[in-house]
Amino acid sequence: MARVFSGIQPSGELHIGNYLGAVQNWVRLQHQHDCLFSVVDLHAITQPYEPAALAQRTLDMAISLYAVGLDPERCIVFVQSQVPEHTELNWLLTTVTPLGELERQTQFKDKSQRQESVPAGLLNYPVLQAADVLLYEATLVPVGEDQLQHLELMREIARRWNSRFANGRAAERGEGFGFPEPQALLSTAKRVLGLDGQAKMSKSLGNTIGLFETPETIWEKLKPAATDPARVTRRDPGNPDICNIFTIHQGFSPPETQALVARNCRTAGWGCLDCKRVLADNMIAALTPVRERAQELRSQPRRVGETLRAGAAKARAIARRTMERVRRRMGLLEGARV
Ligand code: TRP
C-alpha cells in the first residue's frame, strides 16, 4: 500500500474551500492508502502569529479534521510539533538543500515581500515540508497546484541526500536506505473562489463559508454571493461553467441536481436565488452532521488531546525508525541518544 502524507496549517476551523479543495479528498484516501495527516503548527509560526491563540487553533483544526470524517482508526492524524523528529530531519536536510533553490520559491518571494524583517524560518519552510514527507517515506502527497514547486524541491532534496548518503549497493541487497521520491497527488476538484467571486476562498480575506456555520448563516452568506457577472437581470441566461456558486454545487449537490441547475441557469429558467436556495438546502443537509460532530468534540477537549497524542505516538514510531537509519548513514555517533 502506498503511503500518503499531507499537512494543513492550523488556521482554526475549516471552510468549504479547504474542504472541497483538499480535505474531502483526504477522507477518501484514508480508505485506499496508508495515510498520515498533520496539523503543521511549525509551518504556521514562520509568519507573524499570536502565540496565545496558536494552541487553540491547532486543536480546532484537528477537531475539524475528525468532524469531516478522518478516522483515527483508519489513518494517523497528528500535530507536527508533537513529533520532534520533524525538526531533527529538517536540520539534517538543510545540509543538502541548495540555497538558490530556496530563494527561487515563489511562495517565499511572495511572503517575504510582505514582511519587513524576513525570518530564516520562512526560507527554510520547504525544507521542513520535505522533512514532513520523507520522515515517513511517503510517496504520494495530495496538495494543490500552489505546492508543486515545494514538491519539486522535496524531490531534489531526496535525490541529493540519496546521492550523498544512500548506499546503492546495500539497497540492492535490501539493506540500504534511501528516500523514495514523493509525487504530488493533484486534486481534480475545481478551485472554489471566495464569496466575492474574485480571490481564492481564504479566512484572511473574510470571503469564506465555514464548515460549521448554522443553516441561517449559510443562507445569509450565500444570498449575496457573486455569480456569473453576465446575469445582470433575472432574464439574462447564465453560464454555470464560470459561476462560483455552480462550483460549490459540484461539491455538495448530486449529479442530477447539478444537471438541473445548469440547465435552468443557461435558459434563465431559474434566477440565481432559486439556484442558491437549492444549494443551501444541500449544504445544510451535508454539513449539519459535521457541525454536530464538531460540537460534540469541542465539548471534550481532553479526549481530543488524547486522540492526538495517540496519533503522534504512532507517527513517531515510524519517524524514529527512519531517523535511526538517517543518522547512521550520515555518520552521527550511535548510542548517543539517551
Ligand atoms: N505547505 C503546505 C500548505 O501550505 C502545508 C504542508 C506542510 C504540507 N507540510 C506538508 C503539505 C507536507 C503536504 C505535505 O498547504
The CB of 5 under 6 Å from ligand 1? The reply is yes
Asked if 257 and 233 sit in the same domain, the reply is yes
Per-residue pLDDT tens digits for 105-134: 999 999 999 888 999 999 999 999 999 999
| Residue 16 CB less than 6 A away from ligand 1 | no
Stretch (H or E) spanning 295: helix 272-298
| Residue whose cell numbers read 434563465 | 268
The pLDDT confidence band at residue 232, using thresholds 50, 70 and 90, is: confident
Any idea what the CATH number is for the domain that residue 225 is in? 1.10.240.10
Question: What ligand 1 atom has the least distance to the C-alpha of 142?
Answer: 13
Establish if 203 belongs to a structural domain: no
Query: Whose CA is closest to atom 6 on ligand 1?
Result: 7
Rounded CA-CA distance 152/150 in Å is 5
Quick one: 66 and 154 in the same domain?
yes
What's the CA gap between 330 and 91, in Å, rounded? 12
Domain housing 45: 3-191+301-337
**pTM for the structure as a whole:** 0.94
Contact 10, 63 (CB under 8 A): no
Helical H runs in 166-269? 168-172, 215-222, 244-252, 255-266
Query: What CATH number did the domain enclosing 175 receive?
Result: 3.40.50.620
Q: What is the pLDDT of residue 334?
A: 84
CA-only gyration radius of the chain, Å: 22
How many whole angstroms separate alpha carbon 42 and alpha carbon 44? 5
Instruction: Report pLDDT digits (tens) over 236-285.
Output: 999 999 999 999 999 999 999 999 999 999 999 999 999 999 999 999 99
Is 142 near ligand 1, meaning CB less than 6 Å away?
no
CB 7 within 8 A of CB 132: yes
Angle between helix 106-113 and 148-165 (nearest 10): 120
The domain tally of the chain equals: 2
- Contacts of 102-106 with CB under 8 Å at 24 or more apart are 102/126, 102/127, 102/153, 105/149, 105/150, 105/153, 106/149
Q: How far is the CA of 229 from the centre of ligand 1 (A)?
A: 34
Do 235 and 90 lie in one domain? The reply is no
Are the beta carbons of 68 and 211 closer than 8 angstroms?
yes
Question: 178 and 228: one domain?
Answer: no
